[in-house]
Structure 1
Amino acid sequence: MGLAWQQGPLGTGAIGRFLVPAELPERMLFAEPLRRRMRVRLGDMWIADSEDVVALHEPGRYPVAYFPLVDIVADILEGDGRTTQHKDLGATAWFTVTAGETTKPRAAWQHVDLPRHASELEGRVAFAWRAMDAFYEEDERIVGHAADAYHRIDIRQTSRRLVVRNDDGVVADSSQPLVLFESGFAPRWYVPREDVVQDALTPVEGQTFCPYKGLCSYYDIGGSHRAAWSYEDAWTEVRRISGMVSFEADKVEVELDGKRLRLEPGQGVVSHGVDRDLTVEELAG
């Protein structure tokens, strides 16, 4: 999550609150300079290249990158005659994007009748993440969505004892787990493989990926489906959890220093439209 997605401060399921005397508006949007060079590729072309991107944080969505028209290749946008109404930002025009032999209908949009208070988005276009072939910051591909400066992960070593049981049998027993704190989510506890009972985990088909941690594999534990997971090759920023195992506290019994852990608000991940309609193959793209 981040500033406005899921349990973020501006999200629809915020777990904290602003300590102010007056009630805040039901929806608050936040726009800010991304301060990173961002590029977009479609087919064999770089169709946008800008150091002046604005990130829009909208409740219930991941951040969306808006590019100034001057930093978009000329003549790749063709209006398709479709206009929709954004509940906060007014009329929105949609474009077909064409780069060489590649054409993507309804793949970009622009808010064309912005209220005065949203002038930061004037003259800017956003590209549908799944319609494009890739987004980059400098020369590194960004997977999943535009960068969210408010999403943070901290990993800490602890000597607290974590015990996992299923059907009265011990699955894992560790006094050297790592705890992963991720913005807005309840802590996740990761156990070294050597502290997991051999053959307790049954690999299952199907993987997912997290824009912040990488490719995730899942395991059944007895009759508990997908009760554990592991990032076998976690991304550089969270490399410490590579190969370690975490457990779903609502599917198996997880105890920390003798206290049963329960599923907490914000523990689950909620999919959201096109921003989360991603495939594992995208990692290799």
Structure 2
Amino acid sequence: MRPEPLPAGPGQESVWDYPRPPRLERVGRRVQIRLGGEVIVDTDDVVRVLETSHPPVYYLPIQAFAEGALMPGEGSSYCEFKGGAAYFDVHGGDQVRPRAAWTYPRPSEGFEQLAGRVAVYPREMDRCTLDGVEVVPQPGRFYGGWITPDVVGPFKGEPGSLGW
């Protein structure tokens, strides 16, 4: 059952206004990610994916990551919209976070902009910021959305959201 969306205030977006299938858009935002006391990426070359009930997922160029920050990880998964995903273990300082980032090496039609880009699970990093604002990870272990003050839910991944 679809929950009651929270009202969006000035400058906010409701994740319930996002489409399904998802939409890609290039955004003029700065993303910085820290792990192990190091900045492993700092870029304004950002594409986000918007999908109903999910906070945005931000995809960054592989080449924007610090050397050695991304190492091939185990396993794969499949998204009905974006295609087959491969995983990276993320390294920063003395920290290693297995399968903490993913990419679509050969994205499905309509999602070609994701080729050569990586998304990171914010819950696995020390700190992720969007335009200097700290990101709150999307609830649940499966999801990689970034919650900031400019998006409102409720969000997929919260208790009771399995059937959304």
TM bin (shorter chain): 0.7 to 0.9
User: Are 2:105 and 1:112 aligned?
Assistant: yes
Higher fraction of strand: 2
2:72 matches 1:79: yes
* Aligned equivalents of 2:149, 2:129: Cα separation in 1: 15
- Read off the aligned partner of 2:108 and give its amino acid letter: P
CA contact (8 A) 2:31 2:130 kept: yes
- Among 3, 21, 24, the alignment partner of 1:28 is 21
Give yes or no for contact 1:96–1:107 (8 Å, CA) kept in 2.
yes
> AA paired with 1:141?
V
Conserved 8 A contact 1:110-1:126:
yes
Cα distance change on mapping 1:9 and 1:85 into 2, 3 Å:
closer
Shift of 1:52: 0.6
Aligned equivalents of 2:103, 2:14: Cα separation in 1: 21
Name the counterpart of 2:50.
Answer: 57
Deviation (angstroms), 1:132: 0.9
The 1:43/1:123 distance shift into structure 2, 3 A limit, reads: same
Deviation at 1:112, TM superposition (A): 1.6
TM-aligned CA deviation for residue 145 of structure 1: 5.5
1:141 pairs with 103, 115, 133, which one?
133
Question: 2:154 aligned with 1:270, yes or no?
Answer: yes
Give, in whole Å, the separation in 2 of the partners of 1:111 and 1:94.
Answer: 9
**Residues 134 and 141 in structure 1, CA contact (< 8 A), matched pair in contact too:** no
Return the offset for 1:61. Answer: 1.2
Q: Measure, in 2, the Cα distance between the counterparts of 1:3 and 1:142.
A: 17
Q: Report the TM-score, using the length of structure 1 for normalisation.
A: 0.44
Q: Indicate how the Cα distance of structure 1 residues 4 and 57 shifts in structure 2: closer, same or farther if over 3 A, else same.
A: farther
- Deviation (angstroms), 1:115: 1.8
2:124 paired with 1:131: yes
In structure 1, runs of 5+ residues without a counterpart are: 11-26, 147-209, 214-268, 278-285
Q: Which has the larger radius of gyration?
A: 1
1-structure distance, mates of 2:27, 2:72: 26
Task: Determine if contact 2:18/2:51 at 8 Å carries over to the other structure.
Answer: no
Secondary structure of the structure 2 residue equivalent to 1:116: coil
Match of 1:212 among 131, 149, 155: 149
Alignment of 1:1-285 (within 5 A): 5=15, 7-10=16-19, 27-138=20-131, 140-144=132-136, 211-212=148-149, 270-273=154-157
Q: Distance in 1 between matches of 2:14 and 2:70?
A: 29
- Conserved in 2, the CA contact under 8 Å of 1:4 and 1:57? no
Distance 1:97 1:55, change over 3 A: same
Distance apart, 1:101 and its partner CA: 0.9
How many residues matched? 140
Hey, what's the Cα distance between the residues in 2 that align with 1:72 and 1:133?
Answer: 15
Q: State the structure with bigger RCO (CA 8 A, min sep 6), 1 or 2.
A: 2
Across the aligned residues of Structure 1 and Structure 2, the Cα RMSD in angstroms comes to: 2.7
- Which SS does the other structure have where 1:70 is aligned? helix
> Percent of counterpart pairs with the same letter?
27
Alpha-carbon distance between aligned partners in 2 of 1:109 and 1:65, rounded to the nearest angstrom: 11
Q: How many Å apart are 1:4 and its aligned residue?
A: 7.0
CA contact (8 A) 1:95 1:106 kept: yes
